[in-house]
A and B are shown apart, each in its own frame.
Chain A
C-alpha cells in the first residue's frame, strides 16, 4: 500500500467531528490568530495565518459535510481538494506549525486551531505529504525503537554511564516499582544527566522507581507526523511495559510532545484508560517539594529566566510548578515578557525540529525568542523540554548568543542537600 490523495481525503473525512465543524462555522476571518503565531509575526507573510493552514480541510468539510456545499457540488460549483494543493499546503501544516497552541488561546470565537492542525496532519500523512524528516523519524521509531535510532543497547550504556557518574544504582525492569521513568531520545542522546539527576533526587526522596529496557523512549513521532496508527503502536510499547511491570505511575520526561502523547492522546489511541497514572516530572518534583521530600540547599545568584514549553503550559496545564522549583534554587529568577501560558514557542515543536527544510524558517522565527531572552538580561535560561532545549541551543548558536541552557531537573539536582544526596 502507498499513500494517495484518496487515502488522504478519506482521513480528512474520518477526523471531521462536531468541534471541527463548529470551528469552521465560527471563523470570521478576523486574522487575530496570525498575530498569535510566531511564524506570521516574524515573517509578516499572511500565508502563515493559522486558520489558513487548514484551508484544504475546510474545503472538504464544506463540500461534503454541509448542505450548502453539497448543493453547490451538485451544480458543479465548489472546489475539490487536489493533490497539488496538499503538496502546496505541506509546508504550512508541518514546517510552519509547532502545534504551540497560541492561536487556540486567543481566537475570539474559540476555535481550537491546534486541534484541527493535528487532525489535518492525518490526511496530509496518508496522502504522502508529510515532510521526509518526519517520515524518517517515524520509520526509525517503528523499526528501531526511537526517532533518533537509539536502541536498548545504547540506552543501557547511558544508564550505566549515569550510575558511574552518580554512584547510584539505577533499577532496570524492576517489577512492582512505584514509578517508571521514560525519556525522550533527545535526553538519552544529548542530555543523559537528566537520568542521573533523577537518580539523585529519587534517592533523596526515597522513591521506588525503575527504567524499562523495553520501553524507554517517550518521544512519539506518530503524534508529530499525525498518524494515529503509528502513534498507537509507539504509545502501546510504554503502556505494555508499564502494565507488565505493574508500576503505579509512569513519569513523563520534560519533553512536551512526549507528555501530550502519553498523557492526553495515549488512552484515546489505545481505546481505553491506563491501569497506571501518567505524571509529568515537573508535577512530581513539585509534589516532592511540597511534601518536604525534595530538599535543596543554597541558591544560585545567577540571573535565570524560564522558557515554558508549549505542550507543558498551554496544552498541559503545568505553569506554577516549574516556577516553584526554580525559585527554590535561584534568587534572581526573571520572567520573560509573555510568560507562562502566553509563552512563545522555541520554533521547533510539533516535529518541526525534525524537518530539515524548515531550518531556515525556524531560525527566522527564533528572533522572537531572542527578543524575549534579551529582554530579561538573564545569562541562563532554564527549560523543561529536551526538544525545546536543543532547538533553543541551535538558535542561540545561530545568533551567536552566549545564553547558557539548563534543564530544570538538573538545576534542582545541582542544589540537592549534600548529606542526603551523597
Chain B
C-alpha cells in the first residue's frame, strides 16, 4: 500500500470505522452510566441549589487555590497540555476545515506558526507528564496500563501532526496518513479508556456540584 492509498484509506474507510466505534461506544457508555440511576434526595435543599451543578462544570476548570502551590507541577503541565491540545485541535486551519466539512460549523484559524509553537509546548508538557507520572510516588502508584496507553494514544496525533507539519522523519503524505490514523485510533479507544473523562467529567462535576449545592456548601 503506497502512502497515498494509506492516506485515502484513513480519510475514507478508516474514518468511517473510527467514527462508528466512537459514536456507538460513547452512547453505550452513557447508557451504561445513566442506567444505574440516582435516588432523589429527599432532604430539603438549601436555597440557591438550582445552578450549582452547572456552575461546578465550569468552576472545576479552575485550580483549587490551596492545592495550586502544593501540586504546582501537576497544574502547570495539566493546563499547558489541555489548553495547548485544544488550541491545536480547534484552531489549525486544516482542522477547522474538517469541522466545517462534517458539521457545517467554522471559525477563524490562528496563524500556523502560532499553532505550531503551541503544539510543541503541548508535546513537551505531555512528555513531562509522563516523566512526572513515572517519578511521582502517588501517580506511579495509581498508574495502570490504561494510563500509559491513554498517554500514547494522545501523544501519537500530537507528535505525528507536528512531524507532518514540519516534514520530518517520513514523507509528508505518509506522516499525514499516520496522523489521521492515530486520531482514528484515539477515537476508537476513547469510550473504553480513561480518555472517556473528556465526556464523563461534565457528568461528574454536575453530580458533585449538585450534591454540594444541595447542602449549600460552596462549590
Contacts and interface: CB of A to CB of B under 8 A. Distances in A.
A and B, direct touch (CB closer than 8 Å): yes
Interface of A: 16-23, 25-32, 34-36, 40-41, 44, 46-47, 49, 51-52, 65-68, 104-112, 115, 263-268, 271-273, 277, 313-319, 338, 340-342
Contacts of A25: 29, 33, 196-197, 200, 204
A352 B140 CA distance: 28
B86 to A, nearest CB: 15
Q: Is the interface of B mostly helix, strand, loop or mixed?
A: helix
Contact of B215 (A18, A27, A264, A266): A264
Contact of B137 (A46, A271, A273, A317): A46
B interface bracket (residues with beta carbon within 8 Å of A)? 35 or more
A238 to B, nearest CB: 14
B85 to A, nearest CB: 14
A68 B194 CA distance: 13
A277 B212 CA distance: 19
Main secondary structure of the interface of A (DSSP, over half): helix
B126 to A, nearest CB: 13
A147 to B, nearest CB: 23
A112 B215 contact: no
Contacts of A30: 74, 78, 139
Given A28-B194, A110-B207, A341-B218, 10 more contacts: A18-B38, A26-B200, A46-B141, A109-B200, A110-B204, A268-B43, A273-B44, A317-B218, A338-B66, A342-B66
A35 B74 CA distance: 11
Contacts, number: 172
B43 A52 contact: no
B140 to A, nearest CB: 8
Interface string B26-60: 00110011111111011110100000000011001
Nearest to A48: B138
User: Which 6 A-B residue pairs are closest in the complex by CB-CB distance?
Assistant: A317-B216, A110-B205, A46-B141, A267-B42, A31-B138, A110-B204
Contacts of A110: 56-57, 60, 201, 204-209
B70 interface: yes
A277 B206 CA distance: 27
Contact of B201 (A67, A109, A112): A109
B199 to A, nearest CB: 8
Given A16-B36, A28-B194, A52 B217 contact: no
Nearest to B144: A29
A31 B206 contact: no
A189 B36 CA distance: 43
